Amino acid sequence: MPLETLLLSANYVSGAPLSSSNTYSEQSFASLGLARGTYTYNLSSGDKLVPQVGAVAAPTPVPGLGAW
């Protein structure tokens, strides 16, 4: 299987959000070959995959739009 392969469940609907996290004990981003940041991959389906490596800021409410 090529390194660029992303496996999804058979019932995944294109465009639906994906969310996941992993914890690796006693490892750093450098030891895993990762750099902090946000990356964007354009998939052949037209969807985008945007993984975020490292801490992600919590969403900030926008005045006038109500509660989350």
pLDDT given at position 39 = 87
Burial per residue of 36-68, b for 16 or more beta-carbon CB atoms within 10 angstroms, e otherwise: eeeeeeeeeeeeeeeeeeeeeeeeeeeeeeeee
What is the pLDDT, as a whole number, of residue 56?
63
DSSP character string of 2-59: -TT-----TT--TT---------TT--TTTTT--SEE--EE-TTS-EE--EES--PPP
pLDDT in tens, 4-60: 677 888 888 887 887 777 888 998 888 988 888 888 988 887 878 888 888 766 666
Q: Is the pTM of this model over 0.85?
A: no
Domain ranges of the chain: 30-54
For position 60, what pLDDT does the model report?
66
User: What pLDDT is stored for residue 30 in this prediction?
Assistant: 87
